[in-house]
Amino acid sequence: MSAIKGVLKEELVNSLRMKKIYERELSKLPKGSLVKSRRKKYKYYYLVLRENGKVRLIYKGKLSDSEIKKYKEIKESRIKYQKLLLQVKRQIKFLEKVLKNAE
């Protein structure tokens, strides 16, 4: 039984390390999401983010395709890291519960 506990403790340490890595990567990404607004035949872009519990729109104007692609990639990265962070948090909770009951 102690071999299994050792493996579980090692996995918990690894999961905690991964949690820190995911949180660090999320903090590196810029906040907000790009939103397109149409006025007649023109497209304008705004960066939407939440500050102090309020939604804030920052006017970005007309953006090139490369800038739009960059914001899309940032959004996809944020979603990826949020999913990974959620999974690792669930795993940590499970491992802590199992190790607590094993004592």
Asked if residue 102 has pLDDT above 80, the reply is no
Give the rounded percent of residues in the chain with a pLDDT score beyond 90. Answer: 57
Q: What is the pLDDT of residue 30?
A: 86
Per-residue pLDDT band for 86 (boundaries 50, 70, 90) equals very high
- SS3 letters for the chain? CHHHHHHHHHHHHHHHHHHHHHHHHHHHCCCCEEEEEEECCEEEEEEEEEECCEEEEEEEECCCHHHHHHHHHHHHHHHHHHHHHHHHHHHHHHHHHHHHHHC
- Reply yes or no on whether the pLDDT at 1 is more than 70: no
